[in-house]
Amino acid sequence: FQKEVSPHVPVQWSVSLGIGAQYNVTPHLGIYLEPSLQYFFNDGSSLKTFRTEHPFEFTLPLGLRLHW
């Protein structure tokens, strides 16, 4: 016989704030920049994860966008 243990994984809430801008190079091609901040709340678990150790996150997506 084997005993199965299912770990209790709590939900981790987060909040995100971002803004973006796009410059249209041509009528069908744009360059965009969308910086954002995220914060991950403590879930009350003793389990150590990257998000519990570093709750603030900054991202800076930059790229090309095709539209027609």
Q: What is the DSSP string of 13-48?
A: -EEEEE--EEEEEETTEEEEE--EEEEE---S-S--
Evaluate if pTM is beyond 0.75. no
Q: What is the predicted pLDDT for the residue at 2?
A: 76
Distance CA 48, CA 11 (A): 14
Q: What is the predicted pLDDT for the residue at 11?
A: 86
Q: What is the predicted pLDDT for the residue at 4?
A: 78
Q: What is the predicted pLDDT for the residue at 3?
A: 77
* Rounded average pLDDT per 10-residue block, the chain, 68 residues: 74 94 96 97 86 94 94
